[in-house]
């Protein structure tokens, strides 16, 4: 069923003598001109419906009914309180804040395990400290210092060879 109706024209919808004179696409309001010269405006988004007067009737300067209406005054803008850009952008700013916090949490969760600081280990008198570099393994450290792997692990209780932290310290047994 179509939406067309026989009452969709200005002649059927508007009061006698009322004429549509304009449309503001920014505010979505229609402007109408009355027989007495007053200018009326529709509610935003409504072509028809309740109208409110935005300028009074023009004074008659003769019998000429084709005189132009008085200048258009934007009285509504003077009556409305000014809003800041923050008020207009508040939903968008809230959305960006939530997305930013979510991303910050994700990066913290993913990168949190790799940024742990390793405190230096205190070695015994005969042992010498060795600072772990990138690419080191327990076997490579033991081979580099001519020490058996079992001896290296005995002198470093709790050392996990699968998770050597770069910058950490391993005690190399003295001969």
Q: Give the integer Cα–Cα distance in Å for 106 and 147.
A: 42
pTM of the model: 0.34
Q: What is the SS3 assignment for 31? A: strand
Q: What is the mean pLDDT of the chain?
A: 79
The arithmetic mean of pLDDT across residues 3-11, rounded, is 67
The arithmetic mean of pLDDT across residues 37-56, rounded, is 83
pLDDT in the model for residue 79 = 62
> What residues have CB less than 8 Å from 152, skipping those under 6 apart?
138, 141, 142, 159, 170, 172, 173
Whether the predicted pLDDT of 161 surpasses 80: yes
The arithmetic mean of pLDDT across residues 106-119, rounded, is 68
Whether the predicted pLDDT of 115 surpasses 50: no
Q: Between these two residues, 93 and 9, which has the higher pLDDT value?
A: 93
């Amino acid at each position: 069923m179509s939406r067309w109706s026989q009452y969709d024209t200005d002649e059927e919808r508007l009061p006698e003598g009322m004429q549509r004179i304009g449309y503001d696409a920014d505010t979505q309001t229609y402007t109408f001109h009355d027989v007495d010269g007053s200018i009326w405006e529709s509610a935003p988004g409504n072509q028809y419906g309740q109208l409110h007067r935005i300028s009074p009737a023009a004074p008659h300067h003769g019998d000429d009914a084709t005189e132009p209406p008085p200048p258009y005054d934007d009285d509504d803008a003077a009556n409305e309180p000014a809003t800041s850009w923050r008020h207009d952008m508040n939903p968008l700013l809230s959305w960006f804040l939530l997305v930013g916090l979510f991303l910050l949490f994700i990066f913290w969760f993913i990168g949190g395990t790799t940024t742990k600081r390793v405190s230096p280990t205190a070695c015994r008198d005969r042992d010498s400290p060795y600072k772990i570099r990138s690419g080191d393994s327990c076997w490579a450290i033991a081979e580099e210092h001519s020490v058996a792997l079992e001896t290296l692990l005995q002198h470093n209780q709790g050392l996990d060879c699968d998770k050597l932290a770069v910058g950490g310290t391993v005690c190399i047994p003295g001969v």
